[in-house]
Chains A and B, each alone.
Chain A
Amino acid sequence: MREIELTGESFGADPNRSLTLPKANKLPAKEIKGFRDRIMSWYGIIAFLLLWQMAPYLGLADGRFIPPLSTVLADAFKLVANGQIFIHAATSCQRVLLGLLAAIVVAIPSAVVLAGWFPRFTKFMSPLLALLGNINPFALFPLFILLFGVGELAKFAIIFWSSLFPILNTTIGGVQNIDPILLKTARSMGASKGVIFQKVVLPGALPSIFTGLRMGATTAFLFLIAAEMLSASAGMGWLIHNSSMNNYIPRIYVGVVGIALLGMLMSLLLNKLENFFLDFKEEVKLD
């Protein structure tokens, strides 16, 4: 009984004191934890890079085929110094972004409209869409070249085609897989179709849309390299192809890592976008 009285008393007596005290204690600890977290996410990459550097010296790998990181970095620095890498990176980024944006603009609205408004037509079309998505763009390369020549248009078409179907099919799946309880609840509360679309269907499908976007971006990068290896005079894929033809091995790795970094930048942007839009989802903790 006395304890209850005591807490009640201190709570009522000085609210400012109880508020400021833990705050002053917590701040530095939180800062340290945040710093540790940031460091932690780099451990894996640092270990990998160290292993890469050491492997040829330790005899784990053949230095001719896997040159140490320092050799690769030296070559990368040369390319940065004479500005060549920026030309290649910019060319590749432009190609990917154009193709991907076109695919997004076509795929997301049509998928949402198809799955949301015409479920029967979608059911009718989905086998065909799955089939078309399964067709290997690689096999269509000769066709694209014949149709669009070897210029920019063919590369755009390849990237557009290869990233269109992942986005389209995932978005359709996302709209179809919305929790039926949510839809039933909204409907039973008398929400109109427009409100259901805006408040349930779109937020419910957003995770899938982002999955589709990520898949589309990955495929776009994948086929960008293939397209640039086919016929180009600039771009990261051309860089790799050219160095591999000339047996200039460090530069192959520069290209590989450069593309990986570009792809990471893309997925970082997508993550930022996703976090911005998907702030309603709770994080799962198992431990």
Chain B
Amino acid sequence: MKFNSETLADLFYRGGSIVLFILLWQLGCSSGFLPMTFVASPLSIVETLWQYLKDGSLYKHASVSVLRAFYGFILAALVAVPLGFMLGGWFKNFERVFNPLLVFLGQFNPFALFSVFLLLFGIGEFSKVAMIFWVAIWPILLNATLGVKSVEPNLIKLARSMGMGKIGLLLKIVIPSSSAFLFSGLRMAAGTAFFMLIPAEMMGASRGLGWLIINAQINYQIPKLYAGTTIIVLFGLLIDKLFRIFEKGLVNWKEAQVI
């Protein structure tokens, strides 16, 4: 990699604000401006993380959590993507019948359903996956529907006037134009899946990142609490980044914009 002024500027834009934020945070902690009793300093968080990494507990907890989030997310995507496409424009009547119900169900609060899932599925693995599934399904559904609805009408009229069939319309027009929405929906859902790890693992888990945080919270180990949160945030960002890379590779027809 050539290290010229351009990559430097890029680096500055990418990480500058975060570095500044962490520096201010550390400064606030070590100067005593932020009370140590409930704000852990970045250094102590790194120290805790290093400890976790060394004794292998990080791998143990992360692997369990990632798998849970993955199962929930995959299940949600398998259900929501086809459903969203159908709702978005294929079957208008289908949408009319199901949309109100889905809007209604979408408002069912996962924390409120927490008790219900516990009753139905017990405290095993399935109830945690069910909770993650429940929160991951809505962003995908919403965005898939929105994506199909936001397809430029002229493109559809043009394709149809040239005698394109329904399958061709789906493959050549609808999927490419709605892919940006679809990907942002999947990205959001993956983020939410990680997000819900904490409440999902509150229901009687003995391992996992969410459990780590809950345990630290109950035992009032503030640096551990922050360390657990940091890992989840990092995983969330990593997933986000992966999705963005995919998105860039697949949704490459859109022109970049300069304001």
How many Å lie between the Cα of A244 and that of B110 in the bound state? 14
- Residue pairs across A and B with CB atoms within 8 Å: the count is 172
- Would you give the shortest CB distance from A252 to chain B, in whole angstroms? 5
Using known A-B contacts A138-B198, A147-B38, A183-B259, determine if residue A41 contacts B108 with beta carbons closer than 8 Å. no
Interface residues on B, range: 35 or more
The residues of B that contact A119 with a CB separation of less than 8 Å are 259
Cβ of B167 within 8 Å of any chain A Cβ, yes or no, is: no
Chain A, 210-251, CB within 8 A of any chain B CB: 211, 218, 221-222, 225-226, 229, 236-237, 240, 244, 249
Among residues of B, the one whose C-beta sits closest to the C-beta of A265 is B107
Cβ of B258 within 8 Å of any chain A Cβ, yes or no, is: yes
The residues of B that contact A175 with a CB separation of less than 8 Å are 259
Segment at the B interface, from A4-12, A14-22, A121-129: A121-129
Segment at the A interface, from B52-60, B63-71, B75-83, B227-235: B227-235
Cβ of A194 within 8 Å of any chain B Cβ, yes or no, is: no
How many Å lie between the Cα of A286 and that of B255 in the bound state? 25
Cβ of A40 within 8 Å of any chain B Cβ, yes or no, is: yes
A124 touches B112 (CB 8 A): no
Cβ of A176 within 8 Å of any chain B Cβ, yes or no, is: yes
Most buried by A among B90, B91, B112, B240: B112
Cβ of A192 within 8 Å of any chain B Cβ, yes or no, is: no
Among residues of B, the one whose C-beta sits closest to the C-beta of A182 is B257
A134 touches B115 (CB 8 A): no
Complex partner residue of B198 from A136, A179, A267, CB under 8 angstroms: A136
The residues of B that contact A65 with a CB separation of less than 8 Å are 116, 119-120
Among residues of B, the one whose C-beta sits closest to the C-beta of A181 is B255
Complex partner residue of A136 from B39, B106, B149, B232, CB under 8 angstroms: B232
Q: What is the interface of chain B, defined by CB distance below 8 A to chain A?
A: 12-18, 20-21, 37-39, 89-93, 96-113, 115-116, 119-120, 138, 146, 148-151, 153, 156, 169, 174, 191, 195, 198-199, 213, 217, 220, 222, 225-226, 228-229, 232-233, 236-237, 240, 255, 257-259
The 4 closest A-B pairs by CB, nearest first: A263-B107, A44-B101, A128-B17, A260-B107
Q: Apart from A44-B97, A44-B98, what 14 extra A-B contacts exist at CB < 8 Å? A: A40-B93, A48-B101, A48-B105, A124-B16, A128-B18, A226-B199, A229-B111, A240-B112, A252-B116, A260-B108, A264-B107, A267-B103, A267-B107, A285-B153
Q: What is the interface of chain A, defined by CB distance below 8 A to chain B?
A: 37, 40-45, 47-48, 65-66, 115-116, 119, 123-128, 130-131, 134-136, 138-143, 146-147, 175-180, 183, 211, 218, 221-222, 225-226, 229, 236-237, 240, 244, 249, 252-253, 255-256, 259-264, 267, 282-287
Q: Can you list 15 A-B pairs with a CB-CB distance of less than 8 A? A: A44-B102, A65-B116, A128-B17, A128-B21, A131-B233, A136-B198, A140-B229, A143-B39, A146-B38, A180-B258, A183-B259, A240-B115, A253-B116, A255-B112, A259-B108
